[in-house]
Amino acid sequence: MASHQEPHGVDVHSLFCAAAMDFITAYCFGAARSTNFIKATAYRAHWQELYATRKAHGFFEQELPGLSAALRRYLGLSLTPAFVGAANRELEDWCRHMSDATIEDLQKQQEGSPSRRRLAVTANTVNDPVVVRAIIAGLDKEEEYNGAASPIHATALQRRELTIASETIDHVLAGQETTGVALTYLTYHLSLSLDLQRELRSELLSSSLRPNAKYAHGGAAIAIPDSRQLDGLPLLHAVVTETVRRYAPAGGPEPRVTPAEGCRIGSYEGVPGGVRVSASPYNLHRDETVFPDPEKWDYTRWLPKNGVAGATDEECLRDVNRDETHHCGHILELY
């Protein structure tokens, strides 16, 4: 028996993060410029090590940025190890390379006639950089309507390449991690119950699903159901949603600053402006008044009861997981 066929373990968290990375970078930059972390295992391991390195040392830069900057500037002291800065720069350069290559390809497309540009997009949809194209369209619109009067004229509009790279790295870094975490815990719970696996498989193979696309693989056409149909499957929805609730892939404080005029937050009236506030999904998902026995992974809490879905629970979970940037990972956690 060949060595690669012998029984061996699989780091499913690493694999799921790799799959998410390949998907997200293809969505951001187009498939031709995306990563291939599923197959490029050596570079994947290197990249994930860089990412893990920076994660463990983010406190001072995130929570005390002013103090960190002042110590570096006036005393030459850094509260963060030098190797963390090196890891950050390598990750930024890695993303900038993909982003710049995408921008260059789009600029080349613009050199043709309008009909040729439309043909290039429709004929090669898999390589269409959806996210980068949307960012460029937004910047173009802002410049057209506001020009030099735009509040982002001196920053985003004048430094477009850097702006696009900065925006896409947020999607890439956050998206691959949250999706990988959710898939890992979901797989763990499915592995504990063969009955649940059978029920889920039966639902996925149900006659109610109607394929709306086909994917060619190895000479065979594989039917793919519409994503909206998959979203409507009650058991699939329940196991995914409960996993996201119980394990909160983005479980950090999610800090925000209140608007200048002040606001109301929950039952707290008259919260002044310019105040840093935060709410951790990890904690909010353990509100026993909304989620009884919150530490238990119980997918049945999301199944319809007497034909009615748990709307209150759904709204609480949705509000907790919403943010202004709404990176790709929030979508991929559920798909």
* pLDDT tens column, 57-93: 888 988 898 999 999 999 999 999 999 999 999 999 9
CA distances (Å), origin 210, targets 45, 214, 223, 228, 233: 38, 11, 9, 11, 13
- Evaluate the CA torsion angle 237, 243, 246, 250 in order and state its sign: negative
Per-residue pLDDT band for 320 (boundaries 50, 70, 90) equals: very low
Alpha-carbon distance of 80 to 62, in angstroms, equals 11
Between 266 and 167, whose confidence is greater? 167
Alpha-carbon distance of 286 to 297, in angstroms, equals 11
Q: What does the block give as tokens for 244?
A: 């996201």
Region 250-257 average pLDDT: 81
Instruction: Decide if 165 contacts 99 (C-beta within 8 A).
Output: yes
Top-ranked range on mean pLDDT: pick from 11-15, 109-113, 263-267 = 11-15
Q: What is the pLDDT of residue 263?
A: 94
Residue type, 219: G
Would you say residue 253 has pLDDT above 60?
A: yes
Residue type, 184: T
Q: What is the pLDDT of residue 119?
A: 44
Would you say residue 326 has pLDDT above 80?
A: no
Instruction: Output helix, strand, coil percentages for the chain, rounded to the nearest 5.
Output: 60, 10, 30
Per-residue pLDDT band for 149 (boundaries 50, 70, 90) equals: very high
Element (H or E) spanning 12, and its range? Answer: helix 12-29
Q: What does the block give as tokens for 91?
A: 């990750």
Percent of the chain residues topping a pLDDT of 70 = 81
Angle between helices 160-191 and 194-204 (to 10 degrees): 120
Instruction: Decide if 199 contacts 235 (C-beta within 8 A).
Output: yes
Dihedral of the CA atoms 308, 311, 317, 321 (nearest 10)?
A: 110
Alpha-carbon distance of 30 to 39, in angstroms, equals 18
User: Which of 76-85, 122-131, 292-301 has the lowest average pLDDT?
Assistant: 122-131
The region, left, alpha or beta by phi > 0 then psi within -120 to 50, assigned to residue 154 is alpha
Per-residue pLDDT band for 122 (boundaries 50, 70, 90) equals: very low
Between 163 and 205, whose confidence is greater? 163
Instruction: Decide if 225 contacts 260 (C-beta within 8 A).
Output: no
Q: What is the pLDDT of residue 228?
A: 82
DSSP bridge pairs for 268 = 265
Region 122-139 average pLDDT: 86
Percent of the chain residues topping a pLDDT of 90 = 61
Per-residue pLDDT band for 141 (boundaries 50, 70, 90) equals: very high
The region, left, alpha or beta by phi > 0 then psi within -120 to 50, assigned to residue 117 is alpha
User: What is the longest distance spanned by two Cα atoms in the chain?
Assistant: 71
User: Which of 11-25, 107-121, 200-214 has the lowest average pLDDT?
Assistant: 107-121
Would you say residue 296 has pLDDT above 60?
A: yes
Would you say residue 329 has pLDDT above 80?
A: no
What is the per-residue pLDDT across 23-67, written as a single tens digit (0 to 9) for each? 999 999 999 999 999 999 999 999 999 999 988 888 898 889 899
Q: What is the pLDDT of residue 324?
A: 47
Of 228, 234, 235, the C-alpha closest to 210 is 228
Phi, psi of 264 (to 5 degrees): -110, 135
What is the per-residue pLDDT across 213-224, written as a single tens digit (0 to 9) for each? 666 666 666 677
Going along 272-331, which residue ranges are E strands?
Answer: 276-277
Instruction: Decide if 57 contacts 84 (C-beta within 8 A).
Output: yes
Q: What's the pTM value of the predicted model, to 2 decimals?
A: 0.83
Q: How far is CA 80 from the centre of its chain?
A: 26
